[in-house]
Amino acid sequence: MAKVCDICGKKPVYGNKVSHSNNRIRRRWEPNLQRVRIRVDGSLKRAKVCTSCLRSGRVQKA
């Protein structure tokens, strides 16, 4: 299952976890996705939507 927002296309970003001793380990930051029912062209559809899209009003929840 892909961790991608169906509305804006936000996906995981990659970087380093840096310890106190400056050791670097690759890690990734996941978007905060919620599985919600949204209204698309009058019909209901289940989609994975990030919370920034929900808060900004880009999605109308069913």
> For the segment 35-61, what is each residue's pLDDT rounded down to a tens digit?
999 998 889 999 999 999 999 999 988
CATH node for 13-56: 2.30.170
Residue 9 has pLDDT above 80, yes or no: yes
Within 8 A by CB and 6+ apart from 53, the residues are: 5, 7, 8, 59
Mean residue pLDDT of the chain comes to 95
Residue 9, phi-psi category: left (phi > 0), alpha (psi -120 to 50), beta (remainder)? left
Residue 1 has pLDDT above 70, yes or no: no
Rounded to the nearest 5°, which phi and psi values hold at 57? Answer: 85, 15
Alpha-carbon span 21 to 45, nearest angstrom: 48
Q: Where are the domains of the chain?
A: 13-56
Which whole number is the average pLDDT over 19-29?
98
